[in-house]
Amino acid sequence: MKNRLLVCPLAVATALALASCGLLPGDAERSRTVDVWLMRDSVSEDFLQRFTEAYESEHKGVELEFTFQEWTGIGKKVTEAIQGPGGPDVIEVGNTQVAQYADTGKLYDLTLESVRDLGSEDWLPGLAEPGRIGGSQYGIPWYAANRVVIYHKDHFKEAGISTPPTTRAQWLDDTEKLNRNGSQGIYLAGQDWYTLAGFIWDEGGELADDKGGDWTGALASPAALRGMEFYKELQSLGSGPKDADEQTPPQAEVFAKGDVAQIIATPSAVAAITKANPALEDKLGFFPIPGKKAGQPCAVFTGGSDLIIPENAPERTAAIDVVKALAGEKWQTELARAMNYVPNKTTLAPVVEGQEATAVMAVGAARGRATPNSPQWADVEAANPIKPYMTAVLEGEDPETAAAAASAQITEALAE
């Protein structure tokens, strides 16, 4: 499906302005169309309308054409497009997908623009780092979302907990208090590996280590094992299944039944919770996943999108300008407020202060991380040895033995 939002551009009088639009002197009469691929539902029609009208009115001779793509099968489609004779000019991709596209050698290096024009020093690490391959910035951070703790205010009140916990130790104490009288202190499925990753990172561990381009699984390190130990202790304070992930059954639906005090999820889960149980709409609260020390929330997996420009982009110069607009402060602010996203810079966190759940996400996003930056990481997730490893530990197997076996599988999957 294509979304064409076209208005009549204003005249631009100077050669400097023409250059900023991706046009050369004498080219003013030639209209240029910048083809942008976005993922379905990543932005609202209203946001896209406002951006298109504003952009085209400020950039003479440039028209924007948006094509919405589905996540299913997008990897193959993007790879074919960037390797073809001339595909889209700008593509939205998942932040953890940049490495696999950069591995083709077909992405335009945006390092200069990121430093000179976009203030890359303030970018969220969970968006910036996966977009940086071999010291070059190929993915420009666009928006982020991450997990927080969603809690039932009534359960907290009944347990005598007046303020959310700010440290792991306090969190465990509070959750133990909540895990009584027929209620679960927390519903945490046994195979929620994104949440485990945050605990591992918080301990200083990794899912996999990069040793000069050779990746090896790292679940058996002392730090990673400490992260799993904490996960096991927290998971025991509820009745979450040890052999399933957070979608089996959907944890939002479990929480909606009313007898669960907490879940770990992105705020987007609220829609499913309140749909299943509208009575909970005013009973939900949010806090960052606590870290080991007060004032320093736990590291979290950052999901979201980066913007890339293929080497074969027909309108590369104009495409760069579009990316700079989408990733710049004005439209980052508009996007965050319109879509309840975390903006791409830590310095922009104040723009969502009036949105409780998003503001809590932004606190955690400052310590966000992404999965290992290997082009083969998708192969790990396809088989995902982390999930059965977690189940094995939760069911009593020796953690070191189980971690070593899972790490060996990760190493094999990451081998080129």
Residue 363: CB atoms within 10 A of its CB come to: 19
Work out the percent of the chain whose per-residue pLDDT is above 90: 90
Q: At 52, which amino acid appears?
A: T
Put residue 285 in one of left, alpha, beta given phi > 0 → left and psi -120 to 50 → alpha.
beta
H or E stretch including 35? strand 32-39
Low-confidence ranges of the chain (pLDDT < 70): 1-30, 416
Q: Which of 24, 26, 21 is nearest to 55 (CA)?
A: 21
Q: Please state the φ and ψ torsions of residue 50, each to the nearest 5 degrees.
A: -65, -40
Q: Is 265 exposed, middle or buried (0-12, 13-18, 19+ CB in 10 A)?
A: buried
- Closest C-alpha to 180, from 238, 123, 220, 138: 238
Helix 386-394 vs helix 193-202: crossing angle, to nearest 10: 80
At residue 30, the pLDDT reads 63
Query: How many whole angstroms separate alpha carbon 389 and alpha carbon 370?
Result: 20
Contact (Cβ atoms closer than 8 angstroms) between residue 244 and residue 225: no
* Structural domains in the chain plus CATH codes: 2-146+302-369 (3.40.190.10), 148-301+373-414 (3.40.190.10)
Cα 119 versus chain centre, distance: 20
Beta strands in 103-243 (DSSP E): 132-133, 136-137, 140-146, 148-152, 208-211, 214-217
User: Which pLDDT belongs to residue 31?
Assistant: 86
